A and B are shown apart, each in its own frame.
Chain A
Amino acid sequence: MSAYTASSRRGFPWLGALVAVMLVFASVTVQVARDRRYPQSQVDDRLLYVRSGEALKRLVLSYDALAADIYWMRAIQHFGGERRSTSTRRYDLLYPLLELTTALDPLFSAAYRFGAIFLSEPFPSGAGRPDLAIRLLQQGIKHDPRWQYFHDVGFIYYWHTGRYSEAADWFQRAAARPGAPYWLTPLAAATLAEGGQRGASRLLWEQLRITSDTEFMRQAAERRLVQLNTLDLIDRIEPYIVRYAEANPYGPLTWERLYAAGVLRGIPLDPTGVPFDLNPWWGTLTVSEKSSLFPMPAEPGPRPPAHP
């Protein structure tokens, strides 16, 4: 009691507190100075200590859902970081991270659905691995056969691999699942009848835009619809240039030459306001790499390899 009274009489230790605050500032200052003089080397943090979902599930005891959330956030950061990267993009940890996430929490639907989008998007805006995206969704179907996963598999077959009969089959299977929306059956039929045609693609994205419950998916669908409109625009302009190129095969085509010849009234821009790239020999138009619409979807016909 007497010790307590004695210490309380001393009052608040202002000097000690001041010293503590000064030491905090000093340590921060030293850190800042050190970091300026000796910039930290860029250590490659693209490392997964545990790759087995089964092993990880055991390690985290009953906290598997929380561990799944942490791996999910890591997957998003990896995807976002690589996508924004100005150096060589590598999405090599994306699938292992998603696989760990879903092994820890097999009912984590966002990990399957968003993960499949991240994986299937063509390189460099995505991993360009529709095969892994389909594998991930098939894992999801094993645990929870909801129609959305079947639809997403069909979607990837349709959009990223151009295998329209498989896409139609998966849309049909999605339509047969409980709670599936009415438009899946006509979509399956349209896919089978006119797979790869812009009309079927537009139907697919329009449905996704209307029915999607996430802003990310809605924005993706809107972007795809703009891309389809851009393809329509190219189809309208390109024949004039190609005809002129065939009739006047005297050296490379330029916008100035086309303007002077009265073929165009100005440099054609895509819907984002970026000029199209002009092939100087054939007169074909493509969306510029500087445009946010790049890369454009492949139309029916030979497709580039999915893997970057």
Chain B
Amino acid sequence: MVIAKIAVNVFKESVRDKVLYNLVFFAVLLMAASYLIGQITAGQDVKIMKDLGLAAAAVFGLFIAVFIGIGLVSKEVERRSIYALLSKPIRREELILGKYAGLVLTLVINVAVMAAALYAVLAYYDATVQGMARERWDAPALDPALLKPIAMILVELMLVTAIALFFSTFSSPILAAVLTFGLYVIGHFNADLRNFEQVVESRTAAWIARTLYYVLPNFAPFDIKSDIVHGRPVSLGYMAWTSGYAVLYITLLLVIAILIFSRRDFK
């Protein structure tokens, strides 16, 4: 119950901080793009609208997850409002979990509205396009399968939020942002670490690289945007395994964050 209250507060704070204004930018971006793209893409408008909508949802979500995530705990410490919070009947783990749940709630609402906006623009396209032109689409404009990459974007953002919150418990906001972005970038190159033995002779180096592959968060599997846009199937089993990995990693990060935060002395 306490966790839910903290979560709602975090969400209200993000609304007060005008975080949801990004939705206006998203809508304007999509509408402007829908007009311009038709002129210069040689009939690839629907593909590009989907690519743009999904990429924009991922980018906006990433910035929200990182820049709000890094301040979730450190801002309370900097403002010294942490003393008032901890003097209330709130356990430290509840504070961490509530903060995390609040930002996830903000992201869910953001992503849901962006998805609705994307579908609205695609519906407009679908209604205006002539019959023959549809034949060149790899997938229908209003493809329900688009919800799959949207869901994976959300799961990926939940993992990024957990990383940002984790760093937020023990470092300054700037350092936390650098470290979170760093892990996000490294997480997309993980496949290279896995195949490191193919480029180095040292078995020790290869072993270290392979260990890092398993230990560092792997973001590449969350990216199913291209497959879905091209009408390729992505099984629910694959999504379940990838989401399962994310849930375990998020739990790990939150447990460590709680451990660190519980031991912090705020005197």
**Chain A residues engaging chain B, CB cutoff 8 angstroms:** 58, 61-66, 68-69, 72-73, 76-77, 105, 107-110, 114, 213-216
Cross-chain contact A107 with B41 (CB below 8 angstroms)? no
Cross-chain contact B44 with A72 (CB below 8 angstroms)? yes
Cross-chain contact A76 with B55 (CB below 8 angstroms)? no
Contact (A213, B55) CB under 8 Å given A58-B189, A107-B226? no
Docked Cα-Cα span, A62 to B189, in Å, equals 10
Q: Which residue of A lies closest to B43 (CB)?
A: A214
Q: Note all chain B residues with C-beta closer than 8 A to A215.
A: 43, 133
Further 7 A-B residue pairs, CB within 8 A, beyond A73-B48, A76-B41, A108-B47: A62-B58, A65-B226, A73-B41, A107-B226, A110-B44, A213-B132, A213-B135
**Does B52 lie at the interface of the complex (its beta carbon under 8 Å from any beta carbon of A)?**
yes
Cross-chain contact B220 with A65 (CB below 8 angstroms)? no
Cross-chain contact A61 with B133 (CB below 8 angstroms)? no
Q: Note all chain A residues with C-beta closer than 8 A to B136.
A: 110, 213-214
> Would you list 22 pairs from A and B whose C-beta atoms are within 8 A, ordered by A residue?
A58-B188, A61-B188, A62-B58, A62-B220, A63-B58, A64-B226, A65-B51, A65-B54, A66-B52, A66-B55, A69-B44, A69-B51, A77-B40, A107-B138, A107-B232, A108-B47, A110-B42, A110-B47, A213-B132, A213-B133, A213-B136, A214-B136
**Does B119 lie at the interface of the complex (its beta carbon under 8 Å from any beta carbon of A)?**
no
A84 to chain B, nearest CB (A): 14
Q: Note all chain B residues with C-beta closer than 8 A to A214.
A: 42-43, 133, 136
Q: Which residue of A lies closest to B223 (CB)?
A: A62
Interface residues of B in 164-184 (CB under 8 A from A): 184
Instruction: Indicate the size class of the contact surface on chain B.
Output: 20 to 34
**Does B225 lie at the interface of the complex (its beta carbon under 8 Å from any beta carbon of A)?**
yes
Interface residues of B in 219-242 (CB under 8 A from A): 219-220, 222-223, 225-226, 229-230, 232
Q: Note all chain A residues with C-beta closer than 8 A to B55.
A: 63, 65-66
Q: Note all chain B residues with C-beta closer than 8 A to A213.
A: 132-133, 135-136
Q: Which residue of B lies closest to A213 (CB)?
A: B135
Judged by DSSP, the binding face of B is helix
Q: Which residue of B lies closest to A144 (CB)?
A: B230
Docked Cα-Cα span, A64 to B55, in Å, equals 9
A144 to chain B, nearest CB (A): 9
A10 to chain B, nearest CB (A): 22
Cross-chain contact A69 with B48 (CB below 8 angstroms)? yes
Interface residues of B in 53-85 (CB under 8 A from A): 54-55, 58-59
Interface residues of B in 132-152 (CB under 8 A from A): 132-133, 135-136, 138
Cross-chain contact B229 with A72 (CB below 8 angstroms)? no
**Does B116 lie at the interface of the complex (its beta carbon under 8 Å from any beta carbon of A)?**
no
Docked Cα-Cα span, A101 to B27, in Å, equals 26
Docked Cα-Cα span, A118 to B220, in Å, equals 34
Q: Note all chain A residues with C-beta closer than 8 A to B41.
A: 69, 72-73, 76
A298 to chain B, nearest CB (A): 27
Cross-chain contact A76 with B226 (CB below 8 angstroms)? no
Q: Note all chain B residues with C-beta closer than 8 A to A66.
A: 51-52, 55
Docked Cα-Cα span, A105 to B120, in Å, equals 25
Q: Note all chain A residues with C-beta closer than 8 A to B138.
A: 107, 109
Q: Which residue of A lies closest to B40 (CB)?
A: A73
Docked Cα-Cα span, A109 to B222, in Å, equals 23
Q: Which residue of A lies closest to B132 (CB)?
A: A213
Q: Which residue of B lies closest to A118 (CB)?
A: B42
Contact (A76, B133) CB under 8 Å given A65-B51, A66-B51? no
Contact of B226 among A61, A72, A105 (CB under 8 A): A105
**Does B208 lie at the interface of the complex (its beta carbon under 8 Å from any beta carbon of A)?**
no
Contact of B42 among A61, A68, A76 (CB under 8 A): A76
Interface centre among B138, B226, B229 (most CB of A within 10 A): B226
B193 to chain A, nearest CB (A): 13
Docked Cα-Cα span, A214 to B41, in Å, equals 12
Contact of A65 among B43, B222, B229, B232 (CB under 8 A): B229
